[in-house]
Structure 1
Amino acid sequence: MDNFGTKNMQNPPLKSNKCLLGTQILFRILATAFTLAATLIILTSKQTVTVFGIEMDARYNYSSAFKFFAFANMIGCALSVLSLFLASVLSHRGLPKNYFYMFLHDLIVMALLLAGCAAATAIGYVGKYGEMHSGWMPICDHVSKFCHKVTTSVMLSYFAVILYLCLVIISANQSRKV
């Protein structure tokens, strides 16, 4: 009877570790997919329209904030692929340092993605609503296709930020336990 109780006490941690590893890998795959999709959408977002006989061209590379957003997502995607590899390799060793390093990695990627999202959101807001005090007129009325692509890209990137926030919480919790 004592053997049965001891066996039950040892199995749940193994099962929860495998579940946590599976959750981490799933979140990292989804974060990679979201950042890759956000990167591809922002890089291909462009539209040319004629307004009052003047040709107006909207591209992501005309704004330094959108360029930063694109590069932040590229770097976030590459680091997501790296973390996917590292999470699967380092989880088998179980060293306390590894959990802390994954926590730092996830925190840095989340901060980078959040900074890129914030910059793109600020410029997107000005593009959508303008800033009358500064004399900036809204442009999304004229280049709606461009604005919709940028909005989609920013939303996908925010989903990646949320996933990385979850990963930061998971890796912080794991590094605290060890």
Structure 2
Amino acid sequence: MAGSVSPPLKTHKIFFLMQIFLRILSFAASLAAAWMMLTNKQTAVVYGILVSASYSYSSAFKFFAYANIIACGFSVLSLFLACIFGYKAINPKSYFVMFIHDLMISVLLMAGCAAATAVGFVGKYGVNEAGWLPLCDHFPPFCNRCTMATGLSYVSFLLYILLTIISANKSRQIQV
């Protein structure tokens, strides 16, 4: 039959398109998270004193922003790798390379999300035992943008977890 496509080739094409789609979504989410955090600044009057808040005042927020920048850059790299490895050859060793890549970016995003979540929690609720007061009462727009950036980064993290699972599943066909 001239018009039919064999099931393995059709399955491979769906897998390839899904990889591209998920990588583009992860790129967009990590880019948006990094941009929101890097441009997040606010100045407010607190108890009669002019005080400013910026992501750069917290090493955890800086790590979060840089982790998302790295994830964004490596998402572009992985798009090229997926196009090279994924479309031309059905080689399980190529999927293992993608698995390692996806796993490393997943771990990086997880660490960045954890750091931003921890600092965000302290900023919102404070720690009475340590004498740290909540700051989000005085900087609501700043805290809201931090929350949105962290949420977008979690989306990127979940997409990379999905990509890691998919790549692991495809790479398990390697024969020693």
* Alignment partner of 2:26 out of 31, 45, 62: 31
TM-score between the two structures when normalised by the length of structure 1: 0.93
Partner residue in 2 for 1:53? 48
SS state at 1:133 partner: helix
* Partner Cα distance (2:150, 2:162) in 1: 19
* Partner Cα distance (2:76, 2:148) in 1: 22
Partner residue in 2 for 1:141? 137
Segments ≥4 residues shifted beyond 2 Å: 93-96
| Deviations 1:3-38, CA, capped at 9 Å, x for gaps | x8xxx8x81111111101111100000000000000
Check if 1:63 corresponds to 2:58: yes
* Partner Cα distance (1:171, 1:119) in 2: 27
Letter in 1 for 2:11: S
* Alignment partner of 2:172 out of 148, 169, 176: 176
Deviation at 1:94, TM superposition (A): 2.4
Partner residue in 2 for 1:123? 119
Tell me which structure has the larger Cα radius of gyration: 1
* Partner Cα distance (1:93, 1:78) in 2: 24
* Partner Cα distance (2:94, 2:10) in 1: 20
* Partner Cα distance (1:177, 1:90) in 2: 15
* Segment drifting more, 27-36 vs 88-97: 88-97
* Partner Cα distance (1:98, 1:15) in 2: 19
Check if 1:150 corresponds to 2:146: yes
Ranges in structure 1 where 5+ consecutive residues have no aligned partner: none
TM-score between the two structures when normalised by the length of structure 2: 0.94
| Deviations 1:67-112, CA, capped at 9 Å, x for gaps | 0000000000000000001001111122222110100000000100
* Partner Cα distance (1:93, 1:13) in 2: 12
* Alignment partner of 2:79 out of 78, 81, 84: 84
Letter in 1 for 2:36: I
Kindly report the root-mean-square deviation, in angstroms, between the aligned alpha carbons of the 2 structures: 1.3
* Partner Cα distance (2:157, 2:20) in 1: 15
Letter in 2 for 1:76: A
Sequence identity (%): 54
Partner residue in 1 for 2:163? 167
* Partner Cα distance (1:37, 1:100) in 2: 28
Deviation at 1:176, TM superposition (A): 1.0
